[in-house]
């Protein structure tokens, strides 16, 4: 009887306990929903708890409950009195009540733990990073502060240089910048107006054209031939945090390159054009024809040839080559890398002429990051493009972080451009009513410093802009500004580059006033203290100490907005007579074996330059070919039908 009665009592206690637990769970859910903003809780899916397990848990947790457990586990006598039964009930009640209390305590602890974990999850990422940085710094200080500081300074300088030259790919597309400037509707209407007159392009277009690879530097046109894979890239080494690469030519491309060198030696444009008929992505030929198109006034064809060369160069990139991150190097000293520098520089100038200054700035950063020696003179364009793109804050950051010794201001272009940059930043700060940074020099101070360091710039600017006010005549009469030559070959050449590239920004009245006021103050200072001019002259000679022109490879015409032209009759001198070219026909055959693609029979006897002009037009169609022969090798023009 006592065993049955005990089982019955335990069942009743189990039911009561389950009801109480369910009530507590419901209460907890309401409280958690109130605290966490009615967030969902998965407590409803919890399995039911066995009360006997709770008894065992309480035995382990509670040190005072050993006697109770012994009572439950003791063997019971069959004949028990009512007093023993009532005592047993009281003991069971004590056990159940203690287990409920411990359960409540555990739930409270669980709630606190969940809240604390939620707080940890919601902790801001910046605070975590700050904590990590503090811990890292503390460990560094413990390991040796001087050594860690030197290593961090060295690595930090490299990282700053890489980060500051990172290219934003969304600004590389000039068409996107035109849409931002003029609006999408204007650009679309312009494109439709140019496509309306070329309905022949649709009717006579090439058949079976496969989509081109997507590239970031340029957008390939539909009528371009497929990439033939004749150029690739190989990885050389990793040194000082930079990955070094170079381009590699295939065997057929090398034969075409030798043919190009032969035609270039005799100034045969017709022969160079014939190379493009067989090898439409021969880089040097494309760049040469782009120069020819520019001289004859065909600027769109010139830009198209440059874009085609950039498309080929990007298709050859190695998977490890990530130039937009600023951590890859293509040394100009490798002959195969030179076409990329020439094409990027010309592409940058083309976008600048179109008014896409931000896109041109991104290309300039890419050009500067590929070779720290700056063979194309991107350093003498980047300040102008930053000012035209209104990237004033970036220009100041670049001047401070690109070189560890902060010496960029010693170049004449940066000396003047930083003053202009500070002038516009001051205007922005005054318009926003923000507190000006008193630690930096004012635009007036920077302009006076530039005039003292390079006074010969002023006379060249007055003549080039031109500045015709009488006050400029009076300023130029002073001894400091009387000469337009510094007497140092390298410096005079850089000043010529600056004036030719940046003169147009000095046509703004605000900048003319800044220059005029600073020049007057410099003259007043010279009247009282003439030693300053001698000190600045010593600085010039110290910076440009060489007696040779170290920048002679940079042509002033390459930095000019003027477009030189040559009369067509003068270009006939570069069209070699076919009889002269008979001596190099064997070279042509070697460069173009039958399997590598050959010109169609219906254009073989025509002038190659004329055929090249036609092949650049998307509506010109030669036969039924699609630009790919039976061996899937793309050709410069479409194959004719074989009879």
Residue 59 pLDDT exceeds 90:
no
Where is 499: in which H helix or E strand? helix 489-502
CB atoms within 10 A of CB 403: 13
Q: Which residues pair with 328 in a beta bridge?
A: 243
Residue 561 pLDDT exceeds 50:
yes
Where is 83: in which H helix or E strand? helix 82-121
How much is the pLDDT for 394?
96
pLDDT digits (tens, 9 = 90+) for 418-431: 999 999 999 998 88
pLDDT digits (tens, 9 = 90+) for 310-332: 999 999 999 999 999 999 999 99
How much is the pLDDT for 593?
47
Where is 543: in which H helix or E strand? helix 531-543
Q: Determine the Cα–Cα distance for residues 133 and 563; give it in Å rounded to an integer.
A: 54
Residue 366 pLDDT exceeds 50:
yes
Q: Determine the Cα–Cα distance for residues 51 and 355; give it in Å rounded to an integer.
A: 80
Residue 243 pLDDT exceeds 90:
yes
Q: Determine the Cα–Cα distance for residues 604 and 598; give it in Å rounded to an integer.
A: 9
**pLDDT tier for residue 368 given thresholds of 50, 70 and 90:** very high
Residue 589 pLDDT exceeds 90:
no
- Estimate the crossing angle of helix 174-182 against helix 184-196, to 10 degrees: 120
How much is the pLDDT for 16?
76
User: Which residues lie below 8 Å from residue 423, measured CB to CB, with a gap of 6+?
Assistant: 443, 447, 510, 511, 514
Q: Which residues pair with 245 in a beta bridge?
A: 235, 330
**Arithmetic mean of pLDDT, 89-105:** 48
How much is the pLDDT for 138?
37
**Arithmetic mean of pLDDT, 616-621:** 44
In this structure, the strands spanning 242-249 and 328-330 are parallel
pLDDT digits (tens, 9 = 90+) for 450-466: 999 999 999 999 999 99
**pLDDT tier for residue 92 given thresholds of 50, 70 and 90:** very low
For the whole model, what pTM was predicted?
0.67
Chain-centroid distance of CA 372 in Å reads 17
DSSP structure class, residue 122:
T
Q: Determine the Cα–Cα distance for residues 169 and 190; give it in Å rounded to an integer.
A: 25
How much is the pLDDT for 212?
80
Would you call the peptide bond into 466 cis, given omega within 30 degrees of 0 as the criterion?
yes
Where is 342: in which H helix or E strand? helix 338-353
Residue 392 pLDDT exceeds 80:
yes
Going by C-alpha positions, the residue among 378, 337, 375, 374 that lies closest to residue 360 is 378
DSSP structure class, residue 559:
G
Q: Are the C-beta atoms of residues 33 and 41 closer than 8 Å to each other? A: yes
**pLDDT tier for residue 627 given thresholds of 50, 70 and 90:** very low
**In terms of pLDDT, which residue wins out, 272 or 199?**
272
**In terms of pLDDT, which residue wins out, 451 or 576?**
451
State both tokens at 333: 């000293």
In 3-state terms, what secondary structure has residue 204? Answer: coil
First vs last Cα of the chain: how many Å apart? 113
How much is the pLDDT for 195?
58
């Amino acid at each position: 009887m006592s065993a049955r009665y005990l089982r019955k009592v335990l069942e009743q206690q189990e039911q009561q306990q389950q009801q109480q637990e369910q009530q507590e769970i419901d209460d907890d859910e309401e409280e958690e929903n109130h605290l966490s903003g009615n967030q969902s809780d998965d407590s409803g899916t919890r399995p039911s708890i066995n009360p006997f397990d709770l008894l065992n848990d309480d035995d382990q947790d509670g040190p005072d409950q050993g006697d109770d457990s012994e009572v439950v586990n003791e063997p019971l006598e069959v004949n028990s009195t009512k007093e023993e039964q009532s005592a047993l009930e009281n003991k069971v009640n004590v056990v159940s009540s203690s287990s409920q209390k411990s359960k409540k305590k555990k739930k409270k602890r669980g709630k606190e733990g969940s809240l604390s974990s939620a707080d940890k999850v919601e902790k801001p990422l910046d605070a975590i990073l700050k904590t990590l940085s503090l811990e890292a710094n503390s460990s560094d200080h413990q390991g040796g502060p001087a050594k860690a500081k030197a290593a961090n300074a060295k690595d930090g300088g490299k990282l700053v240089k890489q980060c500051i030259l990172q290219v934003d790919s969304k600004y590389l597309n000039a068409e996107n910048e035109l849409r931002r400037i003029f609006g999408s509707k204007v650009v679309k209407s312009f494109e439709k107006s140019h496509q309306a007159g070329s309905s022949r392009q649709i009717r006579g277009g090439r058949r079976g054209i496969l989509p081109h690879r997507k590239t970031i530097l340029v957008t390939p046109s539909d009528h371009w031939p497929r990439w033939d894979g004749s150029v690739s890239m190989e990885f050389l080494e990793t040194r000082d945090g930079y990955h070094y690469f170079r381009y590699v030519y295939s065997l057929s491309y090398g034969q075409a390159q030798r043919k190009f060198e032969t035609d270039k030696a005799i100034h045969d444009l017709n022969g160079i054009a014939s190379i493009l008929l067989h090898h439409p992505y021969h880089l040097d030929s494309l760049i040469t024809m782009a120069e020819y198109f520019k001289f004859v006034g065909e600027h769109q064809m010139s830009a198209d040839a440059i874009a085609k060369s950039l498309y080929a160069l990007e298709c050859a990139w190695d998977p490890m080559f990530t130039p937009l991150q600023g951590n890859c190097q293509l040394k100009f000293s490798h002959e195969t890398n030179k076409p990329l520098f020439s094409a990027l520089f010309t592409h940058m100038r083309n976008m600048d002429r179109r008014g896409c200054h931000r896109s041109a700035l991104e290309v300039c950063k890419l050009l500067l990051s590929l070779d720290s020696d700056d063979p194309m003179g991107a350093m003498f364009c980047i300040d102008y493009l930053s000012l035209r793109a209104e990237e004033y804050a970036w220009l100041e950051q670049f001047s401070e972080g690109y070189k560890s010794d902060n010496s960029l201001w010693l170049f004449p272009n940066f000396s003047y451009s930083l003053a202009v940059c500070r002038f516009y930043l001051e205007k922005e700060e005054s318009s926003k009513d923000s507190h000006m940074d008193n630690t930096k020099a004012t635009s007036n101070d920077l302009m006076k410093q530039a005039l003292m360091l390079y006074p010969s710039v002023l006379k060249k600017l007055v003549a080039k802009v031109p500045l015709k006010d009488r006050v400029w005549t009076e300023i130029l009469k002073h001894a400091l500004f009387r000469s337009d030559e510094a007497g140092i070959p390298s410096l005079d050449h850089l000043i010529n580059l600056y004036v030719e590239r940046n003169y147009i920004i000095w046509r703004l009245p605000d900048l003319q006033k800044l220059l005029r006021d600073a020049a007057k103050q410099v003259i007043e200072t010279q009247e009282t203290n003439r030693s300053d001019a001698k000190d600045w002259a010593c600085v010039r000679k110290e910076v440009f100490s060489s007696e040779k022109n170290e920048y002679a490879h940079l042509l002033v015409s390459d930095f000019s907005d003027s477009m030189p032209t040559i009369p067509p009759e003068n270009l006939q001198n570069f069209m070699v007579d076919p009889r002269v070219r008979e001596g190099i026909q064997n070279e042509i055959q070697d460069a173009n074996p039958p399997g590598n693609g050959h010109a169609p029979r219906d254009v073989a006897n025509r002038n190659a330059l004329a055929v090249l002009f036609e092949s650049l037009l998307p509506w010109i169609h030669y036969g039924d070919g699609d630009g790919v022969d039976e061996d899937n090798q793309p050709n410069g023009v479409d194959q004719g039908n074989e009879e």
